[in-house]
Homo-oligomer: A and B are copies of this chain.
Amino acid sequence: MVDPWRAIGVVHTSRRDLERTPVQAGANRAEEGTLEIHEPYVEGLAGLAGFDYAWLLTWLDRPDTPGPPSLTQVPYLLRRTGRRLGIFATRGPRRPNPIGLSLVRILDVTGATIRFAGVDLLDGTPVVDLKPYVARFDRPPGEPACGWFDEVAVPDGVTPADLAGPAAGRPGSV
């Protein structure tokens, strides 16, 4: 299990500080960023412009704390309560494989450059995959239960720094 991943591109955003980066693209839908696909992969974009949304899969290469991630963490959104959850019940960035999953709206595709809306990534984050959003596959029926997220408000554009509380400054996750 040691296959390396390879970067197919890089994300450019205005964000430089994890504490001041919105916790999710889907909760910060207005802000724009760009994705530059590396030259060897540009041909793979053919047909993408016909989709309104895409999944951006990234390698979250700048954790807020060094070392292996804890398997239970206080999500950013629960900092004020200090409540811990298993990492696989959170969307936080510190994971055994730090893969980010961001739902972005495709604004345009020009050559190797994709302009998108929905920013939750630091500038310079490497991209490992890009998949079109397909409602038939990606939208569950009805109103599914979303665990602890059903009990918290997620204001548009909220960042970890906005959620300071008893746990502020400690490693957290969405």
Contact = CB atoms under 8 A, between A and B. Distances in A.
A88 B133 contact: no
Contacts of A154: 136-137
Interface string A1-21: 111111110000000000000
B86 A48 contact: yes
Given A4-B1, A5-B5, A103-B138, A47 B132 contact: no
Contacts of A2: 4
Interface of A: 1-8, 24-27, 37, 41, 43-48, 50-55, 57, 59, 71-72, 84-91, 95-97, 99, 101, 103, 105, 126, 128-140, 143-149, 154
